[in-house]
Structure 1
Amino acid sequence: MAIQVDSYPEEIGEIFDTVAALAPAIREALPGRRVQNDETNPSGETQLAADAYADELFLEELGSLDSVVEYASEERTKVVPTDGKRETGLSVAIDPLDGSSNLKSNNTMGTIVAVYDAPLPAEGADLVAAAYVLFGPITTMMTADADGVTEYLVDDGQRELLEEDVRLPDDPSVYGFGGRVPDWTSDFATYAELVEADESMKLRYGGAMIGDINQVLTYGGIFAYPALESAPVGKLRLQFEGNPIAFIIESAGGRSSDGSQSLLEVEPTDLHQRVPVHVGNDELVEQLETVLG
């Protein structure tokens, strides 16, 4: 699917700057918020104190922007109308702390942001920008908008340019597949065997989607959290994870799929709708769709 991006350069830049500005506070708060809350999020997952803290920060700061009229989070049941002052504004859907289960083991995690020019839940065609912040040994931010995909270093809450026009390498070398192997469908297991049989491909799976996605963008390859026997509609959320990551990967010259079509073509039916996610180099995703039939 061709990426269609409307022009909101100032508004999108303001949203990206706000997300970057909050990154140090979120990262610094992680050590003291590794405990579980007594609540689950709308997807039924146990919520960490860090999840709730990041969500509140993003709602307060993004919700105060004039251009943002709706805020939705993986941690909230419903869309929250904000104080946006534009008659026609932007909707932000956010995973405040992707991979928060990695906090206990001190592994990679971060934030995923989707910016839609439509009320939520919205179609992939309504995306005008997407980004993720990665808390690794350093903090980086990958953004996708009308100017393509750009990587930044986040230093003291400021974005410092690292690389413009980020593209997936032509020679893919990494793969990461989520879900328990016994829970994979027979068709996906067949595809996994084909990938694993390629000696040029190396397994890279860390339990936080954006960490695995960043590996794919860096080295080329494929990430998948497929439909499972126990979860035929998939695990990841379309609005908060599937659409924004598909937007970034497709903007970088790659491809996304729910198994038969681009994730950006999946019809939204619910704010917390789940979807199988497969993203990466074009030839690998095309091969997957052929195997899944």
Structure 2
Amino acid sequence: MTDTVAAIREAVAAAAPEIRSGLPGRRETAGTENPSGERRLAADEYADELLEERLGRIDGVGAYASEEREGVVDTGEGCAVAVDPLDGSSNLQPNNVMGTIVGVYDAELPASGHDLVAAGYVLYGPITTMAFAREGTVTEYLIDDGESTVLNADVTLPADPTVYGFGGRVPDWPADFAGYVDDVESELKLRYGGAMIGDVNQVLTYGGVFAYPALQSAPEGKLRLQFECNPVGYVIECAGGRSSDGTGSVLDVDPTSLHQRTPVYLGNEALIDRLEAALD
């Protein structure tokens, strides 16, 4: 499994420059929707097809799934890889930050967050970086020309949190969550860019809290458990923070379907503890 995880990380790093360089010519809609009912861009399809081809041929990868596909692709024997190929692709039109998320599960999908053996994300910002978690440690890499160089071998959330970013429309927030926002916005600086992975990376860098809460119109939230919440929650927990679905670790959420959604709250332990108390 150690060799397989290393191969997965290297394959994602190698694919990242190709995904990035393919964005300018793929800003148009593909004319189809993903299984969650969201319009896909040509860039979503391109990134998904590229990652399926690269990850599916790795020895030890037995299944590939992404939020762009209805079901799981059988690729042989071994672990299951769940991918958000282009997180925040709606940011392509205004040229804002995007990313790629990957979770490596030692179980058939849909799987529990506790079945993760590794997870990480690529961030397409002014430079391309990767945060990758394995065995309780998060490593940050610089990706240049498909090669990865360690920038920080042990990433942890700063003890003194600085930023917050919350998704969903404010009028759609439940009253208890809105009360929590009123409490923390006087302490922290707003950083919200419309791509989960960009906002979470701000929290990982500066400390703070990210949330895409349960909404009045969507009590299950927006983000998907297998492809976004579990992998990123795993990264945050390995970095010394906490994840939550509002009652406990998002990794504890019982998986019922491949494209299942869940509310998600990520950040410094004290801020997530306060949030759960506010939602009780």
TM-score by length of 2: 0.99
| TM-fit CA distance, 1:42 | 0.4
| TM-fit CA distance, 1:197 | 2.2
User: In the aligned structure 2, how far is the partner of 1:65 from the partner of 1:219?
Assistant: 35
Alignment equivalent of 1:233, drawn from 188, 199, 220 = 220
**Which residue in the other structure is 1:159 paired with?**
148
User: In the aligned structure 2, how far is the partner of 1:241 from the partner of 1:61?
Assistant: 20
Consecutive unaligned residues in structure 2, runs of 5 or more: none
Give the ranges of 4+ consecutive aligned residues of structure 1 lying more than 3 Å apart after TM superposition.
none
SS at match of 1:230: coil
SS at match of 1:25: helix
Q: Does 1:255 align with 2:248?
A: no
Q: Does 1:99 align with 2:88?
A: yes
Consecutive unaligned residues in structure 1, runs of 5 or more: 1-7
Q: Does 1:214 align with 2:213?
A: no
Aligned residues: 280
| TM-fit CA distance, 1:10 | 1.1
Are the aligned partners of 2:120 and 2:235 in contact in 1 as well (CA < 8 Å)? yes
Q: Does 1:58 align with 2:51?
A: yes
Q: What percentage of aligned pairs have identical amino acids?
A: 65
Superimposed CA distance per residue, residues 147-169 of structure 1 (whole angstroms, 9 cap, x where no aligned partner)? 61000000100110100110000
User: In the aligned structure 2, how far is the partner of 1:267 from the partner of 1:96?
Assistant: 24
**Which residue in the other structure is 2:3 paired with?**
10
Q: Does 1:47 align with 2:40?
A: yes
Q: Does 1:113 align with 2:102?
A: yes
Question: Aligned partner of 2:24: which letter?
Answer: P
Superimposed CA distance per residue, residues 56-87 of structure 1 (whole angstroms, 9 cap, x where no aligned partner)? 001111011111000000000001101x3x4x
**Which residue in the other structure is 2:270 paired with?**
283
**Which residue in the other structure is 2:13 paired with?**
20
Alignment RMSD, CA only? 0.7
User: In the aligned structure 2, how far is the partner of 1:18 from the partner of 1:164?
Assistant: 19
TM-score by length of 1: 0.95
User: In the aligned structure 1, how far is the partner of 2:126 from the partner of 2:110?
Assistant: 34
Superimposed CA distance per residue, residues 12-31 of structure 1 (whole angstroms, 9 cap, x where no aligned partner)? 00000000000111100100
Are the aligned partners of 2:136 and 2:238 in contact in 1 as well (CA < 8 Å)? no
SS at match of 1:31: coil
User: In the aligned structure 2, how far is the partner of 1:195 from the partner of 1:109?
Assistant: 26
Superimposed CA distance per residue, residues 173-208 of structure 1 (whole angstroms, 9 cap, x where no aligned partner)? 00000000000000000000001122xx10000000
User: In the aligned structure 2, how far is the partner of 1:202 from the partner of 1:216?
Assistant: 11
Q: Does 1:37 align with 2:24?
A: no
| TM-fit CA distance, 1:44 | 0.5
Superimposed CA distance per residue, residues 222-260 of structure 1 (whole angstroms, 9 cap, x where no aligned partner)? 000000001001100000000001000000000000000
User: In the aligned structure 1, how far is the partner of 2:136 from the partner of 2:174?
Assistant: 38
**Which residue in the other structure is 2:190 paired with?**
203
